[in-house]
Amino acid sequence: MTSGISVLVTGGAGFIGSHACKALKSAGYVPVTFDNLSTGHARSVKFGPLVQGDVRDADAVVAALRDHDVRAIIHFAASAYVGESMRNPGLYYDNNLGGMIGLLKGAKTAGVDKIVFSSSCATYGIPAQLPISEDCAQDPINPYGRTKLICEMVLRDHAAAHGLRFAALRYFNAAGADLDGIGHLP
């Protein structure tokens, strides 16, 4: 029974997050978008409430989780451009790793123990075999991929220490538009 269960979608105002909110809503969940609107758009948030906040701010995460009685988190909020990460790695370590730390602190305080993490195929780097299987060695070749791999390690450590349950999705480039007018917006 999914009816009315709230799921926090960090980065829910972005390209992939807004599509995840649409899918959650049609599956009977309440998608609660948590987004600082740095690259996302408030007008993409059509399927549940928008909480404007930054995942690096653990107190703001706690408030959103409690206010909306959230049971699980899908974590999309991140900086997500390989080229930019090579020019400005500090931004990527701060936002992606700092975001994961803030989110996990908030989740632990609020007692939310289920997280789906939007990782990336970039954690594999140049694969030793094709097609790439899930158990291929992860050896990223840019700061963006390294932040995602480190976030996976952080999750694994928190799972071992605190009983957190998580999945990391290492998907490839997403593309496409949606008739609801969400996704890549000018």
Ligand X SMILES: NC(=O)c1ccc[n+]([C@@H]2O[C@H](COP(=O)([O-])OP(=O)(O)OC[C@H]3O[C@@H](n4cnc5c(N)ncnc54)[C@H](O)[C@@H]3O)[C@@H](O)[C@H]2O)c1
Q: Which residues are the active-site residues?
A: 144
Tell me how far apart the alpha carbons of residues 81 and 131 are, in angstroms, rounded to a whole number.
Answer: 23
Q: Terminus-to-terminus CA distance in the chain, angstroms?
A: 37
Binder of ligand X out of 6, 118, 123, 138 (CB under 6 A): 118
DSSP class per residue in 119-148: --GGGT-S-SSSSPPTTSPP--SSHHHHHH
Answer whether 125's CB lies under 8 Å from 141's CB.
yes
Binder of ligand X out of 51, 61, 80, 115 (CB under 6 A): 80
Q: Which is nearer to ligand X, 70 or 77 (CB)?
A: 77
Instruction: Mark the segment that binds ligand X (CB under 6 A) among 52-60, 64-72, 84-92, 129-137.
Output: 52-60
Provide the pairing of β-strand 114-118 with 6-10: unpaired
Cβ burial of 154 (10 Å; 0-12, 13-18, 19+) is: middle
Site for ligand X in 153-172 (CB under 6 A): 171
Instruction: Mark the segment that binds ligand X (CB under 6 A) among 6-14, 66-74, 130-138, 155-163.
Output: 6-14
Instruction: Mark the segment that binds ligand X (CB under 6 A) among 61-69, 76-84, 135-143, 159-167.
Output: 76-84
Answer whether 166's CB lies under 8 Å from 3's CB.
no
Would you count residue 64 as binding ligand X (CB under 6 A)?
no
Binder of ligand X out of 39, 88, 109, 142 (CB under 6 A): 39
Q: Which residues bind ligand X (CB under 6 A)?
A: 10-11, 13-17, 35-40, 54-56, 76-78, 80, 95, 99, 118, 120, 171, 173-174
